[in-house]
Structure 1
Amino acid sequence: MKLQWRYFLLAVGFFTRVPVPSLPDFQETDLNHAARYFPLVGLFIGLLAAAVWWLASLVFPPALAVLCSMATTIYMTGAFHEDGLADSADGLGGGMDRARKLEIMQDSRLGSFGVITLIGMLLFKFQALSALSPAMLPFAMIAAHALSRLAAVAIMATASYVRFAGKSKPLATALTRPDLAYAILFGTLCWLVFSLMLGINHTLFTVIRFQLFTAIPVLLVWLWWRRLILRHLQGYTGDTLGATQQLTELAFYLGLLAWEHLA
């Protein structure tokens, strides 16, 4: 239990600004085991997003409450995933070959592709969240943040890590079957609870439609993005994992929004 607590704290410290106790004798391989808790960290970030939205909605208009929630998650994660999305867009959009793409992704400067992609992502998320019904919005935030981090773990489990030449940031690069099993549990838990709650007041057909409308967009975006990075980079980097999280989070919101409009 003490070792698992260490791995959980490592995941929290790696992905958020939440202060955690110092972890002596850190090794990069510890992140491999901490990966099982990445979706759980996402679940807590989703809970925070939902709580901030609810509190802000008591005193602010709906659109401003959504912005407060988005700003909170960006601050709490240090824009970690947004930065990965922007760097991935710059590298894949601006590089002519694999080496150049990776070189651009290492560059701390933000290019045109990164700016356009980042602004577009924030606008899409804002519009999607603002369009969701208040009854669905908090559950959507919690489920999306957990599922999207599971999507990143799934990339790690099914592709090879592309290590940059020279010094690179530590990153989880290998998962055991138990690690992946726990990640799947934490990543899908809220989505499954969400489905069960809908089943109380809706028919089984409605619940199945909800599951299909939310899972299929996430899966399709994940498959497309995985194929893209394998074709261009022959594997994944930390930046592409951040992009995975952002893309699949948005896919979940759009799928849920489509389900609401067609329900």
Structure 2
Amino acid sequence: MMDEVAKFALAVQFLTRLPIPARIKFTPERMAGSVAYYPLVGLLVGGLSALIFWAASLALPVLVSVILAVSAGFLLTGGFHEDGLADTFDGIGGGLTRERSLEIMKDSRIGTYGTLALACMIALKVAALSEMAHVSPFLVLGLLPAAHGLSRFSSVIVIATSKYVRDEGTGKPVARGSSALTLTIASVTAAAILAGLIWAGPPMLAAYGVIGLVAGHMLMRAFFERKLKGYTGDTLGAVQQVSEVGFYLGVLSWL
């Protein structure tokens, strides 16, 4: 049990800026196993973002509250996934060859493709969540944690079904995190999130959200896998971001 707690703590440390106890011991095996808890970390990030939305909405307009909630997500993760999204679009959009794309993705500077992709993702998040909040603020309170959790599971699926293409990189420590136990824990967490959505609201709302998430997952993978022949740490962030936005758009299409 303590080993699993350590894996969860390492997942928190890897995906967020939240502090973890210094006594948690790092091992490559634990780091690989931490992939199991990505959906749970997403649930935590989304839950804290929802809390910010709720607190802000007590005194501020809906749009401002949504922007603060989305901004809280950036602060909690250090823009980790957003950085991956921007690097992925810069690399795939600016590289004529696989090697050149991978080289561009390692560059810390952001280019035109990355800037446009990031702006579109943020705009879509804010617009979709604002529309939901106008229908009911409780939708945002429930869907933020669900979308963050399920979109991290979307990244886990990539790890389990694709190949890491770099010799080194941010995704290398977790590239081996596709054991039966890891996938079982991640899948059970995602199923619990989905069950909570179905219990709390109309089942069709959850269904449309999942359809949107799956569409985002597949479109993003089609965008980078054809050229890269696998994934990198940056593309995991891109899959998370597009899956999250796909979830919101799916729900919005049902409302």
Interval of TM-score (by shorter of Structure 1 and Structure 2):
over 0.9
Distance 1:177 1:227 in 2: 26
Structure 2 residue identity aligned to 1:171: P
Shift of 1:259: 1.0
SS of equivalent residue, structure 2 residue 252:
helix
Aligned match of 1:227 in 222, 228, 231? 222
Runs of 4+ in 1 over 3 A off after TM superposition: none
Q: Does 1:26 pair with 2:26?
A: yes
Q: Report 1:1-263 matches (<5 A).
A: 1-22=1-22, 26-132=26-132, 133=135, 134-164=137-167, 167-169=168-170, 170-174=172-176, 175-198=178-201, 207=203, 209-260=204-255
SS of equivalent residue, structure 2 residue 181:
helix
Q: TM-score when scaled to structure 2?
A: 0.94
Shift of 1:24: 6.3
Identity %: 38
Distance 2:197 2:25 in 1: 40
Distance 2:234 2:251 in 1: 26
Structure 2 residue identity aligned to 1:162: V
SS of equivalent residue, structure 1 residue 136:
helix
Q: Does the 8 A contact of 1:143 with 1:188 survive in 2?
A: no
Cα 1:211–1:71 shift into 2, 3 Å: closer
Structure 2 residue identity aligned to 1:85: L
Distance 1:178 1:237 in 2: 23
* CA distances 1:114-173 after superposition (whole Å, capped 9, x unpaired): 111101111111000000031211111011000000000000000001114xx5334311
Cα 1:24–1:213 shift into 2, 3 Å: closer
Q: TM-score when scaled to structure 1?
A: 0.91
Residue segments in structure 2 that go unaligned for 5+ positions in a row: none
Shift of 1:225: 2.0
Q: Does the 8 A contact of 1:149 with 1:187 survive in 2?
A: no
Distance 2:206 2:79 in 1: 29
Shift of 1:23: 5.2
* CA distances 1:58-100 after superposition (whole Å, capped 9, x unpaired): 0111110001101111001000000000000000000000000
Give me the CA root mean square deviation.
1.4
Cα 1:21–1:110 shift into 2, 3 Å: same
Q: Which is worse superposed, 25-34 or 213-222?
A: 25-34
